[in-house]
A and B are shown apart, each in its own frame.
Chain A
Amino acid sequence: MSGLMIFAALLVALFVGAYVFRFAGQTATGNAPRFRDMTFGVAFGYVLAAALFIWAIYYYFQPKVLDTGVPNAGVVFFRWAVQGFIIAAIAAFLFRLLGRMVGTEGTKKLFRSMPLTAAFGILVIIIYAVVAVFAGAIAPYGQAEILGAANVMAGGDPAIGGNPDYPLGTDQIGRDILSRLIYGAQNTVGIAFITTCLAFFIGGSLGFLAATLQGWLDQLLSRGVDVLMAIPSLIFALLLMTIASVWANELGVPLTIFMVLIIAVIDSTRVYRLARAVGLNIVVMDYIEAAKLRGEGLGYLVFKEILPNAMAPLLAEFGLRFCFVFLTIAALSFLGVGIQPPLADWGTMVRDLAPFINFAAFAPTAAVAPLLAAGAIALLTVAVNFVVDWMLHKSSGLKE
């Protein structure tokens, strides 16, 4: 009851605050259009945002440890999030500044018009790519190397069970988490990238083919895709992976190759749908008719006339699809049929260390172990989408 009362009182305070804010603005600026034409909803939004901001500052400076001696986990995680956000913003800003000073005239111009989010995305992708390529040189230990001490805490502080040799700690059987994270970039990101490219090659070319030729081929492909899409994709992938694991043993082919093929085919159905829909809008254009009347072949029509015009939506889809593929692989690994141990993989790491999340309330450092791999997945997903959004904005801007 009292909670409800407080909520109601807060709401009333915000309403009054919004009204006062707007009135004060109107009086102070002599009825400038910005305040004069402001709707009540907008004023309410400003006041609400201000209130939340003040609360965030207040919460940030709460003590890390409660009077009872138990760590205040909410505050600890909140501080990490805020600090991480600020560091990311500064890094992105510096990176963009660097891009504006160094490089060719073309890249400088590119960086000048780049929003901070895109700079951040590019920076993260570059770091991931470098880490993935040079994993062997960067990682302090091997990905399957068992180092003795299991379940060493992150942070490297011996007082709470850390060890400076393993800055991010070790996992349940004593492998270095930092090294496994680095190798995980190679395995998870590399495989996801290959799978997405394959899905786009299959789905894109078949989709454009269906849009250009139409008729029975279109019917055949589209109905086939409908059937595949009707089956829940994760369950379908699980089923196929179970079958494939038998074949993999018989044929002596790594299971990972089957996984790439299976996920590529399942995801290509979504790409097919998009490519066909976009393609259908393009093939009715007069320039396609002109090319047909010129006597151009199918390959030229699809790759030279249709593809360049379908690039923007396909790129956007690529960003999203990459994240989905990535998450599917992580999910399959989490369920135990994806990338097989001892290969390091972020999905497997989350699964293996998942129980530590239960310590989050009273030992934030212990809960970090599974969150590191999950965070690596989340960060890349966000970064890829930032970059794709920006590319999309640029390419749509070109069309006037």
Chain B
Amino acid sequence: MSRLLTIKGLKIEGRSDETWNPIINGVDLELNKGEVLGLIGESGAGKSTIGLAAMGYTRDGVRISDGTVEFDGIDLVNASAATKRSLFGKRIAYVAQSAAASFNPAHKLIDQHTEAPVQHGVSNRSASVEDGIELYRKLRLPNPDEIGFRYPHQVSGGQLQRAMTAMAMSCRPDLIIFDEPTTALDVTTQIEVLAAIREIVEEFDTAAIYITHDLAVVAQMADKIKVLLRGDEVEEADTRTMLSAPKEDYTKSLWAVREFQRPQQPPPPDDAVPVVSVRNITAAYGTTDVLHDVSFDIHAGRTVAVVGESGSGKSTTARCITGLLPPRMGEIAFDGEVLPADYRKRTKDQLRQAQMIYQMADTALNPRKTIGEIIGRPVQFYGGLRGAKKRERVNELLDQIELEPSQYYNRLPSELSGGQKQRIGIARALAAEPKFIICDEVTSALDQLVAEGILRLLADLQDTLGLSYMFITHDLATVKSIADEVVVMKDGKVVEQGPKTEMFTPPHHAYTDLLLSSVPEMDPDWLTDLLKERGVENIGDAAVDKM
């Protein structure tokens, strides 16, 4: 096999506060033609930086300080802008994490698709339109003949991601860099994109660097895996060796991350009054019903996981419970007492009892307030504490979420990491001393190791404070580790509900089954087997649509 890309002793520095700080400290990488390398690590490990450096490109304020990047005999570090321009798009292509943000919303997909081949003189417009349609067909996009003539906002997220892969393929490059292409997608959509990418990379014998933080995904895609930690290489091996026998402790800890499991609580006694009772809720945005007759109970000290894809009505249910969206029919009861439908009509104490933790800690914390102010406000608002007493209570809460009070009290949210921000969100909810907390996708924006820490913290708090959780998620691994009961939703309806142990043992409802089997497993043959079992035409969203 011939060598395509060689990176030797790559060092990259980033500029902050007038000094250059190392981001990558000497990484070597080799890639042969037609080979797929998986780069994994937590955020901040330098995965994307290396991915871009493989193109000889760095972001603003970042420079390659040492080392060589050689692509097919061309020195990319010292190449002129003109040389790089002739390679980008033609021989090296890049697929970004968020296709929705990377497509130009003002142009049709096919116009953006044909830009690179026409610009590089590989093909003329009409030929590349035809080729684009052919690629859309190969990637199994619906209506391949017409979909290219739509604008980006008229196409779903998974379809956009595939259209972007098609665009990267338009000049049949030798190397494609995939930067977390499926991270923002639902499991059933993800599986479709994964299958499409793998197939097309194999067909054209393209080499690829696949960047992700999801091990199970990389196991399906890569021939070999490189693990990174804070700009250093931890280890590299071919996929099967890496999965079966990781050498380094850090790699092992990544592998073991999904093992956390909170013991399932015994079912509550029959006469117990549920903390929260959702009774036959039907809710509408405008005149369109988005929830149909949803009912479930949440008992003291238990966690109910609400599972489903985006658009299934999980978050809308939460909005009904909090009173932001008064339901059209049905009612919400708290400790057996029916609550006013609109949050503005609820008493302060009723509001205090139910708190919420949000998915995006970035938008859930006011960026202009210090941690002390953010947590101190509910302490003062509900508890009436001021001055030293308030400070004491905030310190207590910071201790509970395992952050050193003296160090964090005066910081702004922008000075914290993603996991720490999420902990502050938890502390703000706890400050109200609630009985019940809604957790809306609290771990989906976090790395696996960090997410596990958050789940452990939530479980500990539940044990010590006797909290009840409603846990909204689309990640079934999270459900497995923390839930007592599971509610599966689809199209605004509850399709199945019951204790976790029942839900994870067959027979399932067909939709639950599809969700469960779409979660990638740490077995390199998993996707291949699944495709064989279901048939190429019948995976992911296509199967959901047929239901």
B381 lies within 8 A of A294 (CB): yes
Interface string of A371-400 (1 = CB under 8 A from B): 000000000000000000000000000111
CB of B365 within 8 A of CB of A287, answer: yes
**Assembled-state Cα–Cα distance A292/B324 (Å):** 9
CB of A33 within 8 A of CB of B80, answer yes
Q: Does A352 contact B (CB under 8 A)?
A: no
For B351, give the chain A residue with the smallest CB separation.
Answer: A295
Q: How many residues of A contact B (CB 8 A)?
A: 20
Cβ-defined contact, A309 with B366, below 8 A: yes
Residues on the B chain within 8 Å of A399, using CB: 367, 414
Q: A290 and B358: CB pair below 8 A?
A: yes
Indicate which residue in A36, A37, A295 contacts B348 across the interface (CB closer than 8 Å): A295
* Chain A residues positioned under 8 Å from B82 (CB to CB): 37
Does any Cβ of A come within 8 Å of B81's Cβ? yes
Assuming the A-B contacts A293-B351, A294-B381, are A287 and B432 also in contact, with contact meaning beta carbons closer than 8 angstroms in the complex?
no
| Contact indicator B432/A294 (Cβ below 8 Å) | yes
A395 to chain B, nearest CB (A): 9
| Total number of residue pairs linking A and B with CB closer than 8 Å | 57
Chain A nearest CB from B375 CB (Å) reads: 12
List of A residues within 8 angstroms of B432 by Cβ: 294
Provide the residues of chain B in CB contact with A290, threshold 8 Å: 356, 358, 364, 428
Interface SS of A by simple majority: helix
Determine the residue in chain A with the shortest Cβ distance to B80: A36
> Is A145 among interface residues, defined by CB-CB distance under 8 A?
no
B interface residue count range (under 10 / 10 to 19 / 20 to 34 / 35 or more): 20 to 34
Question: What CA separation (Å) do A285 and B369 show in the bound complex?
Answer: 14
- Fill in one digit per residue for A288-318: 1 if any B CB lies within 8 Å of its CB, else 0: 0110111110000000010011010000000
CB nearest to B414 among chain A residues: A400
The chain A residue sitting closest to B350, CB to CB, is A295
Task: Give the shortest distance, in Å, between B355 (CB) and chain A (any CB).
Answer: 8
In the assembled complex, which residues on chain B have CB atoms less than 8 Å from the CB atom of A296? Answer: 381
- List B contacts of A36 (CB < 8 A): 80-81
**Bound complex: CA A293 to CA B342 (Å):** 10
A305 to B432, CA, bound (A): 18
* Contact partners of B322 in chain A: CB under 8 A: 293
Interface residue A165 (Cβ < 8 Å from any Cβ of B): no
**Closest residue of B by beta carbon distance from A287:** B366
Binary interface profile of B, 275-303, with partner A (CB < 8 Å = 1, else 0)? 00000000000000000000000000000
A286 interfacial contact with B, CB 8 Å: yes
**B414 vs chain A, min Cβ distance (A):** 6
B324 contacts across to A, CB distance below 8 A: 289, 292-293
Which residues of chain A come closer than 8 Å to B511, judged between CB atoms? none
Q: Contacts A36-B80, A400-B414 given; indicate if A308 touches B356 (C-beta within 8 A).
A: no
A330 to chain B, nearest CB (A): 36
Q: How near does chain A come to B319, taking the closest CB pair, in angstroms?
A: 9
Q: Which residues of the other chain, B, contact A293 by a CB distance below 8 angstroms? A: 322-324, 343, 351, 355-356
B363, B365, B366, most chain A CB atoms within 10 A? B366
Task: Give complex CA distance A305, B322 in Å.
Answer: 20
- The residues of A with any CB-CB pair to B shorter than 8 Å are 33, 36-37, 285-287, 289-290, 292-296, 305, 308-309, 311, 398-400
